[in-house]
Amino acid sequence: MTTRLLLISDTHIPGRARVLPAAVLRAADDADLIVHAGDWVTASVLDELAAHGDVLGVFGNNDGPDLRARLPEVARRQIEGVRFGVAHETGPARNREERMDAAYSDVDVLVFGHSHIPWDTMTPRGRRLLNPGSPTDRRRQPHHTMMTAVVDDGVLRDVELQTL
């Protein structure tokens, strides 16, 4: 069986945008699982995404008590034999791969946010680190972004950074 993923983070609604971009909602409709790595800011974003599909998410540093009551700080789920972890913050980029090997030794893929900087690397121990950037707050990045991917028979494939 194949599982299609939408990876997003740092939506910061309503601070940085009033609504989720239409492209994000279309991708959510096409996905089997929506992964959000925190900083939703308002629970209505969680509710809206949940209306489009299954959501695996965590709270971020800008999320209040309402979201913290509904979401964990770190989430884990096995998808088609691939062990996923989701967290908001991973600290500075320098030595991130080594730190995440130590902190998340029980996952194959870690989806994270916070920096708004797209990231796709492998750790020395073979963990994939993915940051989809932000679909609503690009900060110093040239584009708003999100990621899509496919998990099939124990393999993560077709990871694609999409600009909005």
Q: How many Å apart are CA 86 and CA 54, to the nearest integer? A: 15
pLDDT per residue as tens digits for the range 13-63: 998 889 999 999 999 999 999 999 999 999 999 999 999 999 999 999 999
Nearest to 159 by CA among 72, 82, 90, 59: 82
The answer to whether residues 31 and 6 touch, using CB atoms and an 8 Å cutoff, is yes
Is pLDDT above 90 for 10?
yes
pLDDT per residue as tens digits for the range 51-104: 999 999 999 999 999 999 999 999 999 999 999 999 999 999 999 999 999 999
Q: What is the pLDDT of residue 26?
A: 98
Q: What is the pLDDT of residue 1?
A: 85
Total tally of structural domains belonging to the chain: 1
The answer to whether residues 24 and 146 touch, using CB atoms and an 8 Å cutoff, is yes
Q: How many Cβ atoms are within 10 Å of 26's Cβ, its own excluded?
A: 12
Range of the domain at 107: 2-163
Kindly calculate the radius of gyration of the chain based on its CA atoms and give it in whole angstroms: 14
- pTM for the full model? 0.97
Q: What is the pLDDT of residue 15?
A: 87
Is pLDDT above 90 for 135?
yes
Q: What is the pLDDT of residue 16?
A: 82
Q: Which long-range contacts (CB under 8 A, 24 or more apart) does 118-127 make?
A: 118/145, 118/147, 118/161, 119/93, 120/147, 120/159, 120/161, 121/96, 121/97, 122/97, 123/97, 123/98, 124/97, 124/98, 125/101, 127/97, 127/100, 127/101
Please compute the mean of the pLDDT values over residues 121-128 and round it to a whole number. 97
Which CATH number is 110's domain given?
3.60.21.10
- Give CA angle at 58 (80, 151), nearest 5°: 20
